[in-house]
């Protein structure tokens, strides 16, 4: 199974001076193109022993400091980020022959930041966060649904932010933009922090 890449070039003269502006431009392109969940990203974490794990999470915020997502603090990814804050993110925009790979450190958000996002979540998502002891072994689907029903009854009105739930910001050290090219001569431009500024360097495909 092989796909021929035919997209246009990604040249140094055409990209922004820092990665966040460039990422916003590509994310806008992905949204405009109608990609399914364009804010979905693969999060790779590892234990102190170097045992890796990956999963999809959703990018919920982007600012001048990094990429923000939210999760249960008792989950496997949270446990691994506590042990080892070095993580990687990947946005696999296959339909556009593009991907973005971010490497950096995951830093927990302040509780007030998590609360601000929590208030924007739909009620059923808030219930799900309370009901699921994420990454733990459970007996059945029925057990999970019963827990959700108990939460809904417990909080008939406003649902508070759980102590065990919140956000992380991935502060990047490198951000690589990959554009597929003919003959496997792909374009790879990597932003790398250099004394507080961003340097752009081309990587061989």
Annotated binding-site ranges for substrate:
2-5, 60, 117, 121, 125, 184-186
Which of 25, 2, 38 lies closest to 182 in space, CA to CA?
Answer: 2
Q: Which of 184, 190, 192, 193 is catalytic?
A: 184
How far is the C-alpha of 30 from the C-alpha of 39, rounded, in Å?
9
How far is the C-alpha of 144 from the C-alpha of 148, rounded, in Å?
6
Number of Cβ within 10 Å of residue 4's Cβ equals: 9
Please give the annotated binding residues, written as ranges: 2-5, 55-60, 70-71, 76-77, 99, 117, 121, 125, 134-135, 178, 184-186, 188
* Residue 184 a catalytic site member: yes
1 with 91: CB under 8 angstroms? no
Q: Six-digit token pair at 141? A: 């689907």
Which of 108, 113, 107, 104 lies closest to 19 in space, CA to CA?
Answer: 104
Q: Six-digit token pair at 95? A: 């339909």
186 with 178: CB under 8 angstroms? yes
How far is the C-alpha of 62 from the C-alpha of 6, rounded, in Å?
30
**Active site (catalytic) residues:** 184
């Amino acid at each position: 199974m092989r796909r021929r890449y035919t997209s246009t070039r990604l040249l140094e003269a055409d990209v922004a001076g820092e990665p966040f502006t460039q990422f916003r431009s590509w994310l806008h392109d992905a949204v405009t193109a109608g990609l399914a969940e364009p804010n979905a990203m693969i999060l790779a974490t590892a234990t102190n022993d170097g045992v890796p794990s990956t999963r999809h999470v959703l990018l919920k915020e982007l600012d001048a400091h990094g990429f923000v997502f939210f999760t249960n603090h008792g989950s496997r990814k949270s446990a691994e980020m506590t042990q080892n804050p070095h993580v990687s993110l990947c946005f696999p925009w296959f339909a556009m022959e593009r991907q973005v790979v971010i490497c950096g450190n995951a830093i927990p958000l302040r509780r007030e930041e998590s609360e601000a996002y929590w208030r924007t979540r739909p009620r059923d998502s808030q219930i799900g966060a309370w009901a699921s002891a994420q990454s733990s072994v459970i007996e059945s689907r029925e057990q999970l649904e019963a827990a959700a029903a108990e939460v809904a009854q417990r909080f008939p009105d406003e649902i508070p932010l759980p102590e065990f739930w919140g956000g992380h910001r991935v502060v990047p050290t490198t951000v690589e933009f990959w554009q597929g090219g003919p003959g496997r001569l792909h374009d790879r431009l990597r932003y790398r922090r250099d004394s507080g500024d961003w340097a752009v360097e081309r990587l061989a495909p």
